[in-house]
Amino acid sequence: MTMEIICINGVQFMLREYGKGHKWCHGQFKARGYRMTLGREAILDVLAQANRHLSAEDIFMKVYKVYPNIGLTSVYRTLDILVNIGLVHKFDFGHGRARYELAEEPKGRRHHHHLVCTGCSRVIDYEDFIDEEVALLKKTEEALSIKYNFTIMNHLIQFYGLCQICRNEGK
């Protein structure tokens, strides 16, 4: 429980297995005046390596394995910060809990939208927009901005339906 052992082990382990590929996130984080801690670093690592949309508890459990000192509260707090900064996107897919995902980076993951299966709750990312989709989106945003005097910061676009598996099962 002393920070020593876990800290030493944690740091060394992290420096090897983690702490890669999100220097940019670190920069953004500290640039905003936030302190970088082991917990926060681990959370960023988990998010960076996630291939699905994680809940706060998902993240907590993954972080716990490498950093047992972590508390669920800190996960929520860190996610809150990350969402406010814009480094992480928070989604509600109707599963009763929020899901988080690393936001697009300069030369990292691209912006995308979601297909949500109402049968099995799976979520599919898609970013292969038709060029037209982007064009109309921009056009719509501009028109709306003017008509409603509304400054659009971002958008949420989700399609609900049934994935192949669920459709075959007749759910």
**Binding of its own copies at residue 15 (CB under 8 A)?**
no
**By C-alpha distance, which of 130, 129, 99 is closest to 113?**
129
**What's the min distance (Å) between Cβ of 21 and Mn ion?**
18
**Binding of DNA at residue 52 (CB under 7 A)?**
no
The CA–CA distances, whole Å, from 17 to 29, 42, 66, 81, 121 equal 21, 11, 10, 24, 31
Q: Are 152 and 145 in contact (CB under 8 A)?
A: yes
How far apart are alpha carbons 81 and 34 in whole angstroms? 9
Q: Which of 73, 157, 169, 171 binds its own copies (CB under 8 A)?
A: 157
* Dihedral pair phi/psi, residue 41, rounded to 5°: -65, -45
Size of the site for Zn ion (CB under 5 A): 6
**Binding of its own copies at residue 126 (CB under 8 A)?**
yes
- From the list 35-43, 62-70, 73-81, 159-167, the region that binds its own copies by CB under 8 A is 159-167
**What's the min distance (Å) between Cβ of 86 and Zn ion?**
19
Question: How wide is the angle at C-alpha 81 spanned by C-alphas 77 and 83, nearest 5°?
Answer: 115
Q: Which of 12, 73, 121, 140 binds its own copies (CB under 8 A)?
A: 140
Q: Which of 8, 120, 136, 143 binds Zn ion (CB under 5 A)?
A: 120
**What's the min distance (Å) between Cβ of 15 and DNA?**
14
* Dihedral pair phi/psi, residue 28, rounded to 5°: -55, -45
Q: Which of 23, 35, 107, 147 binds DNA (CB under 7 A)?
A: 35
**Binding of Mn ion at residue 58 (CB under 5 A)?**
no
